[in-house]
Structure 1
Amino acid sequence: MFAAQLDLTSASATGMHHRHGDGSSVAEQRLPSATVRRLIAKEHVFCEGDDREQVFQVEEGVIAVYKTLPDGRRQIIDFAYPGDLIGLGVLDEHVLSAQATVPSKVKCLSAAALERIAESDARLALKLYKSVCHELAATRSLLITVGQRSAIERVCAFLVALHRRTAEAESATVDLAMRRSDIADLLGLTIETVSRTLTKLRTMGVIEIAQGGTRVQLCDLARLTDLANE
């Protein structure tokens, strides 16, 4: 969902290389200094209905972005990982909530200042546009997953997507930096179903779960992808 990883305070990452005589970038001079905020597990970055004054870039940890239904149930839309942006939008208030699943760190950027700079910097505007497009694509993928896939397909698709987004080159290991209940709320399953499905995949030899249950070795990525029906 937030796969477009941007460093909006770095000229090299945003492509904003316009320089003044003192060597500093135009963007760095125009954008107020970003502040860093540390969060404990389960602490909110923002909640639905809060004024949308800032955009946040995940520096460390994992952030669950979710919607609360009228009956109190929670639908997680996606997890944001280091480099991802959360809080983009066109409304004056947040329409989703964002909560740290583990101790995390986010960089806080002024939404108004960022949008003002984007009006005159085509490269930054393009990067923000691509980030929103990735978010839309992931939301559509989640709709298909929840609406059409079986439990085992959903869990396999989640593991494959997690590997694509977070695993280092040639690594077949992913970290589940979230609770089973978080995964269940993303995939539209019960906690028991998520746990049973992970156990089934381990019995099949497709994955191996390290002690503690937070580190998963993808023993047969090709088969896992096939089981995900991708």
Structure 2
Amino acid sequence: MTTGSQRTRTVLHLPCLGPDAVPLERAVAAVLGYARGRRWLRFRSPGRPEGRWVRVPAFGWARFDAHPPSTGPDADVLIAEGLHGRLDRTGWHAVHDALVGLAPVVEAVGARAAGRPFWELPADEFSVLDEPGTVGALLRHLGQEAGPHPAHVLAALHHRHPDLVPHLTPTTRRALLPHVEEGDSGVEAVVHRELRANAGAFAELEAAVAAVVGDARPGRLRLHDVLLWLTTTLRLAHAVELGEHVAG
């Protein structure tokens, strides 16, 4: 367990979040706020037509991160809806069909990784110079063939393969694009670089988050995703405030 003084000295250098380093304690507070923060919602029902105020989770942690692994594509779609919202009938079938159709590609990613998590793969796996067949090329193919609801598809795939398939949305993908370097196979290469460059800090972040939330143990791919999404959607300061309030 990291002491308070040690945690203060540890920082994450994540250019996709901005030029300033993120202290580990701030990252922990942000994830804790994402996991435990609540907001007010005005709720009306047939029994209470005048409505009443209720406090509901502010973010998707309970419906996604704390949800147990799924057992098939039907459950995968439901988990993805827990993070990105309900789909209409057409959208539901589009995501379901995409998950079924992409299953061989996901299997190929796992075979190529050979048991190694995303952040332990060599940089060559995310270089166009070593394509075809690399993990980076296969992940790019997943994004390209995810259909009209790519965030739902990638959320489901990440939930099933949390150490191998990054969860990307149009918002976070746009934030990563300016950091793509020549020769990169895609934005996944940016995530890979940042995880490799901050390996020790992310290991501490994983342990610290698991110790304070208790109901889930998100890996560093998901932690990177949460921090990036909170930053790009201007919710980071609010999540940190919620997390500090919960911790206090």
TM-score normalised to the size of structure 1?
0.26
Q: Which has the higher helix share?
A: 2
Greater RCO (CA < 8 Å, at least 6 residues apart): 2
TM-score normalised to the size of structure 2?
0.25
Q: Which has the higher strand share?
A: 1
